[in-house]
């Protein structure tokens, strides 16, 4: 089993069997992205399901005044436009590569058929959904306190993001000015442990 498939299988609290994880990943189409390129566009209907195979992506939107980054995703993270997948509506969030990336594209029809026919997969996707909802609360718990406290918490929990995402985007995610965050970065000497999350 390759690293992408292993990360995919472990995405939720319930581990997917190797055979089923490999079956799903093998059905996916490879999509290569450059930094700044969107895989899901704002205002367009996209019903596909995606898995990050390489690199880092972000979920973002425009609030009317400026661009907001809602979350980051790295290897093994499964994602979709919920507007498109669930309701057949145009996406509100756009999903963008922060660096060169590879994602696996899985058609909705195939993904739904696996849910219908596999109790194991149904349990797994339920655990993934709960894990991602947990990530929303985890993000709120990390992004509080002083700017330095927020940055240190972020690099401890998301080292891969810090290594692969421009500081301007991280600053926006943390809600601070990029130049000020650069000064904070120079005075912080935290060495984080590796992890893979979607918040």
Neighbours of 113 (CB within 10 A): 12
**How many Å separate Cα 69 from the centre of its chain?**
11
Please measure the distance between the N-terminal and C-terminal CA atoms of the chain and give it in whole angstroms: 26
| Domain ranges, residue 143 | 139-187
Burial 118-140 (b: 16+ CB within 10 A, else e): beebeebbebbeebbeebeeebe
Q: Give 22-45 pLDDT, tens digit per residue.
A: 999 999 999 999 999 999 999 999
pLDDT value at position 1? 67
Check which CATH number belongs to the domain holding 51 and give it.
2.60.120.10
Q: Which residue, among 152, 132, 134, has the nearest Cα to 143 in the 3D structure? A: 152
Q: Give 151-172 pLDDT, tens digit per residue.
A: 888 888 888 888 899 989 998 8
CA dist 73 and 7 (Å) reads 12
Number of domain units in the chain: 2
- Does 61 share its domain with 82? yes
């Amino acid at each position: 089993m390759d690293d992408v498939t292993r990360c995919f299988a472990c995405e939720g609290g319930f581990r997917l069997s190797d055979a089923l994880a490999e079956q799903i990943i093998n059905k996916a189409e490879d999509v290569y992205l450059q930094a700044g390129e969107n895989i899901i566009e704002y205002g367009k209907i996209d019903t596909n399901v995606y898995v990050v195979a390489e690199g880092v992506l972000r979920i973002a939107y425009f609030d009317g005044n400026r661009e907001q980054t809602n979350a980051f995703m790295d290897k093994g993270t499964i994602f979709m436009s919920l507007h498109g997948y669930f309701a057949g509506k145009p996406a509100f969030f756009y999903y963008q590569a922060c660096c060169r990336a590879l994602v696996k594209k899985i058609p909705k029809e195939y993904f739904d058929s696996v849910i219908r026919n596999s109790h194991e997969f149904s349990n797994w996707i339920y655990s993934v959904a709960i894990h991602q909802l947990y990530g929303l609360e985890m993000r709120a718990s990390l992004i509080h306190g002083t700017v330095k406290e927020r940055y240190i918490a972020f690099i401890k929990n998301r080292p891969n993001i810090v290594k692969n995402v421009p500081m301007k985007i991280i600053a926006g995610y943390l809600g601070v000015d990029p130049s000020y965050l650069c000064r904070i970065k120079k005075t912080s000497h935290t060495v984080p442990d590796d992890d893979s999350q979607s918040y």
